[in-house]
A and B are shown apart, each in its own frame.
Chain A
Amino acid sequence: MSMAAAVIDIPSGAVVARTSAQPQTLRVSNVGLTYSTAEGPVEALRGVSLDVSEGEFVSILGPSGCGKSSLLKLILGLDRATKGKIALDGEVIDGPSHGVGAVYQSPVLLPWRTIEENVLLPVDVMKLDRKAAIPRARALLTMAGLGDFGGRYPYELSGGMQQRAGIVRALVHDPRLLLMDEPFAALDAMNRELLTLELQRIWMESRKTVVFITHSIPEAVLLSDRIVVMSARPGQIIEIVQNPSPRPRTFADLNSAEAAALCDGIRRILDLSGRH
């Protein structure tokens, strides 16, 4: 009884030691996906199994065509797996759910809505309490460094700021899982590093469970607890790499012996090491 109370008393945002006893937020079990095309069936995913614990940051890394985005669509409930199943907090996903927030390659902000109105879009669509959501939206915008820009229109903001607004929109309804599909792919290199660090800070403050899709090895190593390395055609998991180093991490930290070894290991798994 006292044990249970102690667990409940942990304030949100505190660092919780993750053990194998942590509840599984996302369970991907032996998922396969085959598209039928005019040229015959195309296997996009084969035998993908992955468990993501609560509060964990997991990256999915792989070359283009490895089915990363297909997997994301399955988790979003926009597509159906042809084999296996995906469950969120024990509930099998058979369509879009309110438990997931998503950030896409482009921010996909609606140009006729202000930044704040864009951030509140999930609240409107999910018919949540708008009055209660507004302070939360503003707090999140401030956290993302957009506190003064809620009343602006998307076209008045730079690409990096638009993408930050996209992240805030994904968090506004407090989803159990945050899905990010190469969110920084469209940004220039400097903005990209800046936003990666920004995301780390946002994640450390919110402790969301994150599945982050990328094809950048440094980005994956910097951000993740675990890195899922996938191969292409058909997309399958080759290896899952752990990164236990403490946070906050910086891009300079990637030059440390452990991090360099980690990056190198991933490159070798992906057959990109250049040492033949």
Chain B
Amino acid sequence: MAIANPSTPDVRGISDDIRMTWNGKAFAALRRGGELAAFFILVIVALEAFIVLAGVEPYIFPAPSAIGRALWRGLIDGSYLSALAVTMTEILGGLALGALLGISLGVAMVNVSLLERFLYPCIVALQTVPKVAIAPLMIIWFGFGLQSKIFMVTVMCLFPCLINTIAGLRATDSDRINLIRAMRGSRWQILRYVQLPSAAPYIMAGINTAVVLAIIGAIVGEFVGAKVGIGVLILKANFELALDVAFSLIVLLAITGVILSTTIKAIERRLCFWSGRATK
């Protein structure tokens, strides 16, 4: 075999490029993180100073230091972590179920127009109903245990996953579909080799939206009826006017939400590393 003309010097020095930008990026990320932390500390100190100086009563708005102490107490005696474990199970279980259902329904609707014609309007109608209105029903049907909260979260997560899946599958480049068709690929192969990977960035964006809704769903579900969970602890603290405890739980939820959302983003970057790079 003659390798007559390996005319291939037209590739950039990729590894050099990546190393350079990686160092640059790491430094920029560190700096941005530092700036953000400084900003938070400034806000907390200002808040603390205002509450102490103005003499705001702790049952109206607790000082950040009190919230911090409550958070520390809750974490040490284990009550927060065992509640968080329950709430996280509800969030992750419902998110997984909702994503699975949303993606499957999206795939089904794109492929079977009859399904889209009849099922899609029903799901839109369901979507327009405030989910809080459904929560008591979930408790009646599935009881005070994990199940009712998981299904509540599922209902919250289903819609963003569904519409993003449909949009992603629809946006698939027709050249890519024809490529597989010309190889005598089946509908299933078109889906597997081209449509689902093409739709992955859309689907991940849908899941990222769903994460936030999942936390809301779990807490609302726990408010309406539950024996354990972060939502239950918040309700109890509110009844006792222990606002430092309530705030510490809200802070815990916020941290959880940020961690979940960042994790999803990291998975997205890993899975859709090619997204946004020019290829045709």
- Chain A interface residues (CB < 8 Å from chain B): 76-78, 95-98, 100, 102, 104, 106-112, 121-122, 124-126, 139, 142-143, 145-149, 152-158, 160-162, 186, 194, 197-198, 201, 205
Q: Please report the C-alpha to C-alpha distance between residue A142 and residue B4 in the assembled complex, in whole angstroms.
A: 10
Q: Is the CB of B183 within 8 A of A122?
A: yes
Do A201 and B183 touch across chains, with their CB atoms under 8 A apart?
Answer: no
B274 to A104, Cβ gap below 8 A? no
Closest Cβ of chain B to A145, distance in Å, is 4
By a CB distance below 8 angstroms, the chain B residues around A76 are 182
Number of interface residues of B (CB under 8 A): 36
Q: Which residues of B contact A (CB under 8 A)?
A: 1-8, 10-12, 14, 173, 175-176, 178-185, 189, 193-194, 197, 200, 272-275, 277-280
Most buried by B among A95, A110, A125, A194: A125
Nearest A residue to B179, CB-CB: A108
Whether B4 lies near A78 (C-beta < 8 A) is no
A98 contacts B183, C-beta separation under 8 Å: yes
B200 neighbours in A (Cβ, 8 Å): 112
A168 to B4, CA, bound (A): 16
- Knowing A146-B8, A161-B11 are in contact, say whether A106-B185 is a contact too (CB < 8 A): no
Nearest CB in chain A: distance from B197 CB, A: 5
Contact sample, A vs B, 23 pairs, CB 8 Å cutoff: A77-B184, A96-B181, A97-B184, A98-B183, A98-B184, A107-B279, A108-B179, A109-B279, A110-B193, A112-B272, A125-B185, A125-B189, A126-B184, A142-B3, A143-B1, A143-B3, A145-B5, A145-B6, A154-B279, A155-B278, A157-B11, A161-B11, A205-B1
Q: Are B1 and A145 in contact (CB under 8 A)?
A: no
Other-chain residue from A108, A145, A148 in contact with B280 (beta carbon distance below 8 A): A108
The smallest beta-carbon distance between B182 and chain A, in angstroms, is 5
Of all chain B residues, the one with the shortest Cβ separation from A153 is B274
Bound CA span A270–B187, Å? 42
Within the complex, the shortest CB–CB distance from B67 to chain A, in Å, comes to 45
Nearest to A140 among chain B residues (CB) is B1
Known: A78-B178, A96-B184, A157-B11. Contact between A107 and B5, CB under 8 A?
A: no
A46 to B93, CA, bound (A): 61
Q: Are B7 and A145 in contact (CB under 8 A)?
A: yes
What is the bound-complex CA distance between A96 and B178, given in angstroms? 10
CB-defined contacts of B183 to chain A, threshold 8 Å: 96, 98, 121-122, 125-126
B residues less than 8 Å from A162 (CB atoms): 279-280
Which A-chain residue is minimally distant from B275 (CB atoms)?
A: A111
Alpha-carbon distance between A94 and B29 when the two chains are bound, in angstroms? 57
- Excluding A155-B279, A194-B7, 6 further A-B contacts by CB distance (< 8 Å) are A77-B182, A98-B183, A125-B180, A125-B183, A145-B5, A162-B280
Given known pairs A125-B185, A156-B14, the reply for A108 and B176 (CB within 8 Å) is yes
B181 touches A111 (CB 8 A): no
A78 to B182, Cβ gap below 8 A? Answer: yes
B12 to chain A: closest residue by CB: A156
**Cα of A96 to Cα of B274 in the assembled complex, Å:** 29
> What residue of chain A has the Cβ atom nearest to residue B3's Cβ?
A142
A125 near B11 with CB under 8 A, answer no
Residues of A within 8 A of B197 (CB): 110, 112
Q: A residues within 8 A CB of B280?
A: 106-108, 162, 186
CB contacts (< 8 Å) of A157 on chain B: these are 11
Q: How far is the CB of B82 from chain A (nearest CB, A)?
A: 41
Q: Which residue of A lies closest to B4 (CB)?
A: A201
Asked if A161 meets B8 with Cβ closer than 8 Å, knowing A108-B179, A112-B274, the reply is yes
A78 CA to B183 CA, complexed, in Å = 10
Docked CA distance A124–B186 (Å)? 12
Question: Is A139 within 8 A of B179, CB to CB?
Answer: no
In Å, the complex CA distance between A201 and B14 comes to 29
A97 CA to B279 CA, complexed, in Å:
27
B200: nearest chain-A partner, CB-CB: A112
Expressed in whole angstroms, the Cα–Cα distance for A18 and B1 within the complex equals 24
